[in-house]
Amino acid sequence: MTENNDNMAHTNDVEASGSQSLWGRSQISKKSGNTLVGSILGTQSGKTNNASNDNTNVSNSSTLVTKKTKMNVADKMQQLSVYDEVDEQNISEIEEENDISVVGKPLRVLNGLSSENETSVVKDINTVSTKTINSKDNNTINSKSDNKENVKKTVFVIQRLPILCENLSFVIDDIHQNMDSVSKATMSFIDILKNFIDDEANKNLKMHVITFENNVYMTKIFKMVLHLCDNFLFKPVYQTTRAILLTKFSQFCNLFNIKTTSKDDLLSNEDVRVTMPCLQLFPNLEKSSEIEKIMHGIIELSKNNSVVSESEGSFIAPLKRGFTQDCSITSIMFGVAEDTVDCNLSTICSLYSMFPNIHFYSVADQIEPCSVAKEVKPITDANIQTQLESLISNWNTLPFRTPKDFCNPPISLSVSTLNRKTKMSGTLGGFIQPVINENSPKQLKHYGNSVYGITCAHVILSESQDYPEISLPSLLLQQKYITSLNNAKRDYPEGSKQREIFNKEISRIEQYMDFQFQNPAGQVIWGERCILNDAQLSDFAIVKMNKNIKLECGNYLGDDVIQSLGDPSLRFDNGFITGYTKMNHIKPGVEIFKYGSSTKFTRGFLNGQRMVYWSDGKLQSSEFVINSLNNNPLFATGGDSGSFVLTKNSNKLGLSVVGMLHSYDGEMKQLGLFTPMDNILTRLKAVTKVEWQIKSKE
């Protein structure tokens, strides 16, 4: 594999008006391509050319910092003018203190005196007190003087950032124009950063003035680093070059006291010296009008086209990309098929020039429903002894969760249709109930005595059955477990004790499956999977539970889950769900969690803006969660569809439902797509003409 980027499409030259821009010789592609984004670029070429011309004049502006930074620096300089006055007023006092002929000097001043005058010191209490005060004033003046010098250094460095930004942009332009290999150009990029870092004038900056939010050049430099790492250095052959670039940029951030590692990263490493910066995904904490326009343009353009030529599962997700929440910039991630990542590079390079403050990149990733059950881990000789003794006596050893109390099952149990040929398995998120009162129609009052479960429609809707019955736990998981046991017992001879134990376990599971066929956990009464008018997916089904299921405990995580998590905040009745939270009442970036039948307990952060993706030949939009890497390597996978997305109540005991998980990104498994619970209940009311609510504890 060579390091030359031969697959990259050439971009057409765009004449830049005015003087040389900070982005140097940036090129904008005029080829729209076959993708939807390419169509947008073609239809908005007039607007984008104007935007590009505006961006090219950035270097001509005399503004070196943003408005907020100007105010900070102005305040510091105003303080410095006061310090100068203090210096002039007290210069005579300082000279007097350093005069060795003065009698009664305090002991703390003796270090600055000659040895021959040390013996002439006279102890005078009043004189010592006066000189002590003068000494404190002297220390204050020295501190102010250091502060003044540091402010001057900070301003000087700020003035040099545009030059650094322009030099780095020349390297990016060389890559875009195929004038240099990726590795060679990246090393030139690193050398420019290194020279800036090693400059003595840039060291020992103690002022916390510059951030990615208040300085446009810091944002652009970070964008160039991400552009190299995500769009050119993502292949294994560039792994070393990528690591060097990230390390050097981390040192650059340290000049301005910008942290590139969080406390959790440091605590997770025994030796902090080997902690390297790692690029992660973070949620947008507020809605950006610019991103809203981009996403809205994609949706509107797709409505005007009868056929959208995009691959199944491809998506566009607005988020933040960087090292920490504070050390990250606004980004838009394109999830595409693996064989189209290189083809999409020309579009990415065009967007790079059009939007100077937003990072664009492509990944080989696609949206998939969370309904494909994971394979049961086969039993091996390594753990055979511990499992054999407990298989026939303890249900907790099963690879799927089972309810201890049939009448009061917990939430998040695995679910499937009660069909031995079923190929789908998901998670029963929880339970809801209709709001029936004295004013409700008589024909609806009998519904108030029943319990209703809810999960994704694609998990339990069947074309062969109009109202299929369901199995708790999933019948598919039980069948896969039996298959795993049958494969394991073949390694042992007939009549052996090991084979006998396997047969007993298989018999026990088969008996439990027969019991489920005789006593179904519930029956589907309604469900739909369709795209509504606002391009949002409606994918949920309602299950009328078995009459023996009373659910007096309401929606409860379950003792087994709470004990296994070890989270004290979920104890003492905090494991019960008390209601749901509307999306306009929840703050973006809040921590949420879910418990699915496959990945179990995982945490994440709510993103401030929705993503758009292509599925079933249609454009869809969805709220989504970004995984928290501090607790788990992935957020969701197959078998988690239907899981409730939950958050802890801030002003009372218990949990609130934010939404219900329906999809995830199939490769990285860092994004969880969900439908808000208020949307589900609103849709259910429109269909049934009855108001619904979360089942509460009696």
Task: Kindly list the catalytic residues.
Answer: 458, 539, 641
Give the sign of the dihedral formed by CA 66, CA 294, CA 592, CA 280: negative
Distance CA 646, CA 429 (A): 10
With a CB cutoff of 8 Å and minimum separation 6, the contacts of 679 are 536, 538, 659
C-alpha 634, offset from chain centre = 11
Given a contact cutoff of 8 angstroms between Cβ atoms, the answer to whether 501 and 379 are in contact is: no
With a CB cutoff of 8 Å and minimum separation 6, the contacts of 440 are 448, 690
Neighbouring CB atoms inside 10 A of 608's CB total 19
Supply the angle between the helices 45-56 and 345-354 in degrees, to the nearest 10.
60
Write the DSSP symbol of residue 327: S
Q: In the block, which residue shows the tokens 């050319």?
A: 49
Nearest to 459 by CA among 666, 641, 638, 600: 641
* E strand or H helix at 188: helix 182-198
**Beta-strand relationship, 644-648 and 611-615:** unpaired
C-alpha 596, offset from chain centre = 19
C-alpha 559, offset from chain centre = 29
Question: In degrees, to the nearest 5, what angle opens at C-alpha 630 toward C-alphas 626 and 631?
Answer: 90
Residue 461 in tokens: 């809707």
Distance CA 380, CA 399 (A): 14
Give the sign of the dihedral formed by CA 226, CA 230, CA 232, CA 237: positive
* E strand or H helix at 626: strand 618-627
CA dihedral 504, 509, 510, 515 (to 10 degrees): 130
* E strand or H helix at 430: strand 430-434
3-state secondary structure of 328: strand
Distance CA 14, CA 52 (A): 9
Given a contact cutoff of 8 angstroms between Cβ atoms, the answer to whether 73 and 155 are in contact is: yes
Distance CA 352, CA 344 (A): 12
Given a contact cutoff of 8 angstroms between Cβ atoms, the answer to whether 608 and 583 are in contact is: no
SS3 sequence of 121-146:
CCCCHHHHHHHHHHHHHHHHHHHHHH
Q: In the block, which residue shows the tokens 């439908």?
A: 675
3-state secondary structure of 676: strand
Given a contact cutoff of 8 angstroms between Cβ atoms, the answer to whether 102 and 96 are in contact is: yes
Nearest to 608 by CA among 281, 284, 280, 282: 284
Distance CA 416, CA 570 (A): 28
Query: What is the residue-wise DSSP string for 74-137?
Result: HHHHHHHHHHHHHHHHHHHHHHHHT-TT-SS--GGGGGGS-GGGGGG----HHHHHHHHHHHHH
3-state secondary structure of 579: strand
